[in-house]
Amino acid sequence: KVDRSAAYYSRYVAKNIVANGLARRCEVEVAYAIGKAQPVSLCVDTFGTGKFDDEKLLGIVKKNFNFEVGNIISELDLRKPVYHKTSCYGHFGDPQFTWEKVKKLEY
Please give the domain boundaries of the chain with CATH numbers for all domains.
2-94 (3.30.300.10)
Which residues are CB-neighbours of 16 under 8 A, at least 6 positions away? Answer: 64, 65, 102, 103, 105
pLDDT value at 55 more than 90: yes
* pLDDT confidence of residue 106: 87
Outline where DSSP puts E strands in the chain.
Answer: 27-31, 41-45
- Global confidence as pTM: 0.82
- Cα–Cα distance measured from residue 12 to residue 44, given in angstroms and rounded to the nearest whole number: 13
Angle at which helix 54-64 crosses helix 2-19, to 10 degrees, equals: 110
- Cα–Cα distance measured from residue 86 to residue 40, given in angstroms and rounded to the nearest whole number: 28
Reported as a pLDDT band with limits 50, 70 and 90, residue 42 is: very high
* C-beta of residue 11 within 8 angstroms of C-beta of residue 30: no
